[in-house]
């Protein structure tokens, strides 16, 4: 009976198309800061990328299409796509819908983001937008609602009052995860502690840019928020300076946005942030899918000899790292590395030079694909595919690993 059961697990696991089919709807575990997958009943951490502004005429708007979303999933291995709704008009909404539907088709999560710095003064427009989005997409496990991108001139009391008006229009149609921005560009999470919004499936947003924001200076406040049972979600981060890595064509003056910030990608600080997020299973979304002479754009425009720059309308090869900024290369590599050990990925590859195996204390048992028990000692496993039964937070789950030496 045990062998038949294990073989059934294998067939079921390898049938998953993507993370949503595996994890199901993302749900906050009651009275905890943990975000679980409804299908597995255990904590989930997903990682992905954000589109840029959807505004008509902006260079980022041309990436709101199926081609871009498919490339981010297929080549960059994104598990989640963020779709920022910029100016509130029909053209922007149409672009956002196209991206949402493409993400749903690829079986990845999608964040529907009201991309505003002033949303608490746009309550009626936001309510109308989220009513339509919840009616159209609220029954899909893929969908996450982000109510407020980066509050600028707003105290937490203002943000909370706004959210408490928008949340009910979503809840009329959907019980999906809702995320709320926090004060000062979604950075001051500490101002929310002890003043949470009452909703059973709600998390709080943090944004960071590694070159400007040192995780060591932030993690105390994040840990305090977690201890106050506040689920955290990084819906936007960059590896550059907080201005996004300004370009020579930037409309800011040199004092506010120096051209030198184009090359401010900081790998060491980005690694430190990822280490913290991984230690707490905090999901994250990197900024942004764009081709622009700007450091945080994944595909930076390439300067032309003799002056000027050349922008790719759509990259011919989405995996061509020679056309990526330093930030783009970093995120492309990081997402592909994470993909190797993603629980929903049927056969993650674990190179012998850098094995990423579960810790011995979490291993219940290991089996071959034929259902033969091979024990808990994984140090001497030969090349092949194995079924790991792992126990975390009292819950046993199945993961399949391919080991290559």
CATH number at residue 176: 3.20.20.80
379 and 233 assigned to the same domain? no
**For residue 238, which phi and psi values (nearest 5 degrees)?**
-135, 165
Instruction: Say if 135 falls within a structural domain.
Output: yes
Catalytic (active site) residue 236 = yes
Catalytic (active site) residue 316 = no
What's the Cα-to-Cα distance from 10 to each of 7, 15, 22, 100, 126, rounded to whole Å?
A: 5, 9, 13, 31, 44
Closest CA to 179 of 199, 194, 193, 208: 199
Q: What are the pLDDT digits (tens) for 162-177?
A: 999 999 999 999 999 9
pLDDT over 50 (residue 14): no
Instruction: Say if 3 falls within a structural domain.
Output: no
Predicted pLDDT of residue 10: 37
Closest CA to 279 of 207, 386, 359, 349: 359
220 and 335 assigned to the same domain? yes
Tokens standing for residue 355: 């094995």
Stretch (H or E) spanning 60: none
Per the structure, the count of domains in the chain is 2
Residue 353: band (very low, low, confident or very high) from pLDDT cuts 50, 70, 90: very low
Lowest mean pLDDT segment, chosen from 73-77, 112-116, 167-171, 400-404: 400-404
- Residues spanned by the domain of 394: 349-404
The whole-angstrom separation of Cα 364 and Cα 242 is: 44
Instruction: Over range 334-351, report the average pLDDT.
Output: 77
Predicted pLDDT of residue 369: 56
Which of 146, 236, 294, 326 is flagged as catalytic?
236
Closest CA to 283 of 212, 204, 360, 346: 204
The last residue of a domain, from among 320, 340, 360: 340
User: How does the average pLDDT of the chain come out, rounded?
Assistant: 86
Stretch (H or E) spanning 328: helix 326-340
In terms of pLDDT, which residue wins out, 366 or 332? 332
Instruction: Over range 193-213, report the average pLDDT.
Output: 95
How far is Cα of residue 302 from the mean position of the Cα atoms in its chain? 27
Which of 59, 101, 150, 294 is flagged as catalytic?
150
Stretch (H or E) spanning 156: helix 156-171
């Amino acid at each position: 009976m045990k062998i038949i059961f294990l073989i059934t697990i294998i067939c079921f696991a390898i049938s998953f198309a993507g993370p949503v089919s595996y994890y199901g709807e993302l749900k906050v575990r009651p009275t905890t800061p943990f975000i679980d997958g409804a299908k597995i009943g255990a904590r989930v951490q997903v990682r992905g990328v954000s589109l840029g502004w959807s505004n008509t005429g902006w260079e980022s708007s041309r990436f709101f299409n199926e081609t871009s979303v498919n490339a981010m999933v297929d080549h960059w291995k994104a598990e989640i796509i963020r779709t920022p709704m910029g100016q509130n008009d029909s053209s922007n909404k149409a672009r956002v819908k196209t991206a949402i539907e493409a993400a749903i088709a690829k079986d990845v999560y999608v964040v529907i983001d009201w991309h505003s710095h002033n949303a608490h003064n746009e309550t009626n427009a936001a309510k109308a937008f989220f009513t339509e989005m919840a009616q159209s997409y609220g029954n899909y496990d893929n969908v996450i609602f982000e109510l407020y991108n980066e509050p600028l001139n707003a105290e937490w009391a203002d943000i909370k009052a706004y959210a408490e008006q928008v949340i009910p229009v979503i809840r009329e149609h959907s019980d999906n995860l809702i995320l709320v921005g926090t004060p000062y560009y979604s950075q001051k999470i500490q101002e929310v502690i002890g003043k949470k919004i009452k909703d059973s499936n709600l998390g709080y947003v943090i944004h960071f840019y590694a070159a400007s924001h040192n995780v060591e200076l932030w993690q105390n406040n994040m840990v305090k928020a977690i201890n106050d049972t506040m689920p955290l979600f990084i819906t936007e981060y960059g590896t550059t300076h907080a201005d996004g890595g300004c370009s020579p064509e930037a409309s800011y003056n040199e004092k506010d946005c120096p051209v030198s910030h184009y090359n401010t990608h900081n790998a060491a600080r980005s690694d430190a942030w990822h280490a913290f997020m991984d230690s707490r299973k905090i999901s994250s979304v990197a900024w942004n899918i764009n081709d622009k002479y700007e450091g945080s754009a994944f595909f930076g425009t390439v300067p032309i000899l003799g002056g000027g720059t050349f922008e790719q309308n759509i990259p011919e090869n989405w995996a061509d790292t020679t056309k990526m900024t330093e930030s783009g290369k970093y995120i492309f590599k990081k997402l592909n590395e994470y993909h190797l050990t993603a629980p929903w990925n049927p056969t993650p590859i674990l190179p012998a030079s850098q094995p990423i195996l579960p810790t011995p204390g979490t291993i219940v048992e290991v089996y071959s694909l034929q259902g033969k028990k091979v024990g808990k000692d994984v140090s001497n496993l030969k090349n092949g595919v194995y079924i790991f039964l792992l126990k975390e937070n009292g819950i046993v789950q199945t993961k399949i690993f391919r080991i290559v030496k």
